[in-house]
Amino acid sequence: MTGPLHQRIRGDIEARIRSGEWAPGHKAPTEAELMDQYGCARMTVNKAMTALVEAGLIVRRKRAGSFVARPKVHAPVLNIPDIQSEIVARGEAYAFRLLARTVRAADRDSPEEVELAAGGKLLELDGVHDAGGRPFALERRLVSLKAAPEIEAADFAEHPPGAWLLEHVTWTEAESRIGAINADAEDARLLALDEGAACLVVDRRTWREGQHVTRVRQVFPGEAYDLVARFGPGA
C-alpha cells in the first residue's frame, strides 16, 4: 500500500468498516492510538478521520471518541449518465438526429415557458438519440435565447444540443426529475415501440446565475433502459 500516509490510514479503516469487521456503533481507535499505531503526527491521523466523517462512514463526538456510523436510511445516489457517453461506452455507434428546430415566443399560458424565455424568444429542438442505428431516446428541448444566444448559430452535427450547451453555457444549478409515462402515438413511432409502452422520462432544467437556461425532457424505452446505482455506505 503506497501513497500518502493519511490515505493509507483512511483506507485501512474504511476497509474494516466495509467488510463489516467494525459494525455500526463500533468505537474506532482514538487519534492518540492511531498516532502510535502508525507512528505519525496527530494532524495526519486527523486528516484521515476527517475524510471518513465527510464520507459518512464515521461519526465523532468530543470526549467520547469516533464511532462507525449507522448507514443512513436508504439515501443512495443515482448517477444519471450523459446519453452520448453512455452509448459510446457500450461500444455502440452514437448519432443525434434533429427532427425539428423552431424559434418561437413563449406560450403565454405556460408560466414555465414564460419564465424560461425571460422576455426573449425560445429555441425548440426535437430530436432522437440513436444507438447502433436504432432509436435509444427521444429529446425535446427548450432553450432560452436570452440566456444562450450563440446557440442559434450552432449546428448539432458534431455534438447534440446537450453537449453543445454544456460546452458553451455552463450551468450553476440544475434539477432532474425522473418519472414514468405511457408512450403516446408519436413517442411510440419515434422509438419504435407500441403505443402505451412504459417509458422512463428524465426531465431536467438548468440555470445559470439564477437565469433559467434550458429545459429538456428525455424519453427512454422502459424495457430497454434503466438507471443503475451501486454503492456502499456513505459512498
How far apart CA 44 and CA 187 sit, in angstroms, is: 57
Residue 211 near DNA by CB under 7 A? no
Q: Which is nearer to a copy of itself, 11 or 20 (CB)?
A: 20
CA–CA gap between residue 114 and residue 187 (Å, rounded): 25
Tell whether residue 7 is a contact of DNA (CB under 7 A): yes
CB 136 within 8 A of CB 130: yes
CB of 234 to a copy of itself, least distance (A): 11
Q: Does 5 bind a copy of itself (CB under 8 A)?
A: no
Q: Which C-beta is closer to a copy of itself: that of 33 or that of 223?
A: 223
Convert 69-97 to b/e letters by CB count within 10 Å (16 or more is b): beeeeeeeeeeeeebbebbeeeeeebebe
Residue 61 binds which entry of a copy of itself, DNA, none, CB below 5-8 Å type-dependent: DNA
Residue 88 binding a copy of itself, by CB under 8 A = no
Burial of 20 (0-12, 13-18, 19+ CB in 10 A): exposed
Q: Does 65 bind DNA (CB under 7 A)?
A: yes
199 part of the interface to a copy of itself, by CB under 8 A: yes
229 Cβ contact list (under 8 Å, min separation 6) = 76, 77, 78, 79
CB 188 to a copy of itself: min, Å: 12
Q: Is 55 in the site for DNA (CB under 7 A)?
A: no
191 near 164, Cβ under 8 Å?
no
Chosen residue from 62, 74, 108, 230 binding DNA by CB under 7 A: 62
Q: Is the separation of the CB atoms in 200 and 217 below 8 Å?
A: no
Q: Which does 109 bind (CB under 5 to 8 A by kind): a copy of itself, DNA, none?
A: none
**Lookup: cell for 101:** 428546430
Q: Is 102 exposed, middle or buried (0-12, 13-18, 19+ CB in 10 A)?
A: exposed
Site for DNA in 21-50 (CB under 7 A): 28, 30-32, 39-44, 46-47, 49-50
Residue 108 binds DNA, judged by CB under 7 A: no
Asked if 120 touches a copy of itself (CB under 8 A), the answer is no
Q: Is 166 in the site for a copy of itself (CB under 8 A)?
A: yes
The binding site for DNA (CB under 7 A) comprises 4-7, 28, 30-32, 39-44, 46-47, 49-50, 53, 60-66
